[in-house]
Amino acid sequence: MQRVADSCVNWLSSKFNDKEAFYIFCGNGNNGGGGLALARTLYQNGFDITVFVNENENFSKDALSNLNKIKQISGIAIFDFADTSQFNFKENAIIVDALFGAGLNRKINKKEQDLINFLNKVKLHKVSIDMPSGLAADHLMAENAVIFKADETLSLQFWKKTFLHPETGPYCGKVHILNIGLSKEFIAKEPTDDFVVDDQLIQEIFKSRNEFSHKGNFGKTTIIAGSFGKMGAAVLATKAALRSGSGITFTLAPKCGYEILQTACPEAMYLFGGQNYNVHFDVDSDSAVGIGPGLGGNTETELMFMEFLKSCDLPLVLDADALNIIAKHTQFLKHIPPKSIITPHPKEFERLFGKTENSFQQLDLARKKAQELNIFIVLKGHHTQIITPDNKVFYNITGNSGMAKGGSGDALLGIITSLVAQNYSSEHAAVFGVWLHGKSGDLAAEKYSKEAMLPSDLINEMGNVFRVLA
Residues 160 and 286 in one domain: no
Return d(Cα 65, Cα 84) in angstroms, integer.
24
Chain segment 259-299, per-residue pLDDT in tens: 999 999 999 999 999 999 999 999 999 999 999 999 999 99
Q: pLDDT tier at 4 (50, 70, 90 boundaries)?
A: confident
What number of residues does the chain have? 470
Under 8 Å between Cβ of 327 and 347: no
**234 and 281 co-located in one domain:** yes
What pLDDT, on a 0 to 100 scale, did the predictor assign at position 101? 77
Judge whether 325 lies within some domain: yes
Residue 377 lies in a domain: yes
**Distance separating alpha carbons of residues 306 and 323, to the nearest angstrom:** 11
Whether residue 118 is found in the same domain as residue 234: no
Q: Do residues 422 and 207 lie in contact, with contact meaning Cβ atoms separated by under 8 Å?
A: yes
Indicate if 332 and 449 belong to the same structural domain: yes
Question: Is 113 part of a structural domain of the chain?
Answer: yes
CB-side neighbour CA atoms (13 Å) of 150: 25
Residue 460, number of CB atoms within 10 A of its CB: 16
| Within a domain: 306 | yes
Spatial contact of 171 and 370, defined as CB atoms under 8 Å apart: no
The pLDDT value recorded for residue 198 is 93
pLDDT higher than threshold 80 for residue 162: yes
Residues 279 and 387 in one domain: yes
Q: Which CATH number is 437's domain given?
A: 3.40.1190.20
pLDDT score recorded for residue 255: 98
- pLDDT tier at 12, thresholds 50, 70, 90: very high
Q: What is the pLDDT of residues 325-367, one digit of tens each?
A: 999 999 999 999 999 999 999 999 999 999 999 999 999 999 9
* Within-domain flag for 197: no
Residues 106 and 243 in one domain: no
In a shared domain, residues 321 and 368: yes
Where is the domain boundary, 162, 191, 220? 191
Together in a domain, 336 and 430 = yes
SS3 175: strand
The span from the CA of 123 to the CA of 95, in Å, is: 10
Instruction: Kindly report the average pLDDT of the chain as a whole number.
Output: 95
Which SS3 state, helix, strand or coil, does residue 136 take? coil
Distance CA 110, CA 203 (A): 48
Residue 196 forms part of a structural domain: no
Name, in order, each residue with C-beta under 8 angstroms of 229's C-beta and a sequence gap of 6 or more: none
For the entire predicted model, the pTM comes to 0.94
Alpha-carbon span 243 to 21, nearest angstrom: 49
Given a cut of 80, whether residue 106 has pLDDT beyond it is no
pLDDT of residue 402: 98
Range of the domain at 213: 202-469
Q: Is residue 382 scored above 80 in pLDDT?
A: yes
Whether 170 is covered by a domain: the verdict is yes
Show which of 135, 157, 191 is a domain's final residue. 191
Distances (CA, A) of 61 to 1, 6, 98, 179, 265: 12, 20, 16, 24, 67
Q: Is the pLDDT of residue 105 over 80?
A: no
For 269, phi and psi rounded to 5 degrees?
-100, 145
The CB-based long-range contact list for 11-14 (8 Å cut-off, 24+ gap) reads: 11/154, 11/176, 11/178, 12/38, 12/42, 12/94, 12/96, 12/127, 12/154, 13/42, 13/45, 13/47
Same domain, 48 and 114: yes
Q: Comparing C-alpha atoms, which of 222, 235, 228 is closest to residue 275?
A: 228
CATH code of the domain covering residue 67: 3.40.50.10260
- For residue 438, is it within any domain? yes
Domain end point (choices 149, 164, 191):
191
* DSSP single-letter state for residue 57: S
> What total number of domains does the chain contain?
2
Q: In this predicted structure, what is the pLDDT of residue 160?
A: 96
Q: What is the full DSSP assignment across 206-259?
A: --PPPTT--GGGG-EEEEE---TT-HHHHHHHHHHHHHTT-SEEEEEE-GGGHH
Residues 55 and 99 in one domain: yes
The predicted pLDDT at position 396 comes to 98
Question: Do 140 and 271 sit in the same domain of this protein?
Answer: no
Give me the mean pLDDT over the 141-159 stretch. Answer: 93
Domain co-membership, 172 together with 237: no
